[in-house]
Amino acid sequence: MTNVVVVGAQWGDEGKGKIVDWLSERADVVVRFQGGANAGHTLVIEGQTYKLSLLPSGIIRPGKLAVIGNGVVLDPWALTEEIEGLVSRGISITRENLRIAENTALILPVHRELDGLRERAAGKGKIGTTGRGIGPAYEDKVGRRAIRAMDLLDPASLPGKVERLLAHHNALRRGIDVPEIDATELTGKIEAIAPKITPYVDRVWHLLDQKHKSGQRILFEGAQGILLDIDHGTYPFVTSSNTVAGNAATGSGVGPGTIGYVLGIAKAYTTRVGSGPFPTELEDETGNRLGERGAEFGTVTGRKRRCGWFDACLVRQTAKMGGIDGIALTKLDVLDGFETLKIGIGYELDGTRIDYLPAESGAQARAKPIYEEVPGWHENTAGIRAIADLPPAARAYVEKVQELIEVPIDLLSTSPEREDTILLKDPFDNTKQTA
């Protein structure tokens, strides 16, 4: 038995929510280890759709402990709204099934406002953030002026910490000619929301150590994808945290030896939200068809996603950077009905063929995809639950992708429904299944 980390192997939106929910049946604890309310996971369970942003996907399953780790930046107001929405639908959320790391940094209204001001000021050079305050909150964390979850337990200390925070933010606001934040008003907002959050605050590092030593299975859930990693992604068009699997340890307070298996999630094609390079993007009818069939709209923002062919070169690269042991290939059914399919196998950059995406943003923008064309299939794959039942051309496509990314495909998803999943290898016990 082993603990599992789930990460996105592309630019996010790969279908991690469904896979994490499906895997959580085998787990005892589900930990969210980075990101914030900018990351949306959509779960479809018995015909019911649940959209989560901060809560780990395992919260929907009875008897599981959901944990928000210290690597997350937590918006107390967004979390409260999310909890109340689930409770209204009959999902029980108490300290028994939800804990928040005491050292988790908080997103405050000042962060959300600054995020929006910066994006508007950037014009055509905007990053494409969700405007949820993620970046400014991480900046304050690194700048050692953040308000953290544990501070909500000590109201007497809040005014001084808010003053320290605003010494920085009000200087910024004066520089861009917007009104300063009143410290008393902000402190009052924090004190008002605190009772909604404090019941869940805990020493998560200690809790996870206990769970691990008692033999319980832990599932670590990442947000976004490796190509949005602050260090390893398509910088500067990235998120503000490390999305690689290594951050599962740092972002939850466990040692790296706690992690046993890394599952990367990748769509059978490629999508991206917001600005930045996208070599295999299709700005034509084929791209529109992928977007329509795949319902490619952001869970959090509703923004239309950019769509393109599967880029094996990129996923091979993220698999190496992320230490990915196996891939869950999702949305295979979206490719039903195409006469032919293309797979990106490399790039042409300034007249030279390369087999990696460069780190420099200018080179990324100039990289042109090199494709291999493979036959499509006209049969319907939606809902198939056994590898032997896939059309031969669909199986051949999966095998070709596996060969090109140099990582085994251990799971296949053929619809948003939880049970429409083909398991080839169980990440928790390494049991290999065959056709």
Q: Give me the residues paired with residue 261 across strands.
A: 4
H helices of 266-360, in order, are 285-293, 312-322
- Tokens in use for 7? 């990460």
Dihedral, CA of residue 63, residue 64, residue 68 and residue 71, to nearest 10: 170
Look at the block and give the residue holding tokens 């869970």.
299
CB contact at 8 A, 381 and 415: no
- Tokens in use for 201? 């605050």
At residue 201, what is the residue type? V
CB contact at 8 A, 265 and 6: yes
| Residues designated catalytic | 13, 41
Provide the CA 375 distance to its chain's centre, in angstroms: 31
DSSP 341-364: EEEEEEEEETTEEESS--SSHHHH
3-state SS assignment for residue 214: coil
CA angle (419, 425, 431) in 5-degree steps: 115
Separation CA 51–CA 139 (nearest Å)? 27
Separation CA 186–CA 180 (nearest Å)? 11
Half-sphere exposure of 404 (CA within 13 A, CB side): 24
Separation CA 42–CA 304 (nearest Å)? 15
CB contact at 8 A, 381 and 333: yes
Classify each residue of 189-224 as buried b or exposed e, where b means 16 or more C-beta atoms within 10 Å of its C-beta.
Answer: ebeebbebbeebbbebbebbeebbeeeebbbbbbbb
In the DSSP assignment, the letter for residue 111 is H
Separation CA 59–CA 93 (nearest Å)? 8
3-state SS assignment for residue 73: strand
- Tokens in use for 110? 């000042």
Please choose, from the candidates 251, 247, 256, 201, the residue with its C-alpha nearest in 3D space to the C-alpha of residue 73: 251
Half-sphere exposure of 264 (CA within 13 A, CB side): 33
Can the peptide bond before residue 236 be classed as cis, meaning omega within 30 degrees of 0? yes
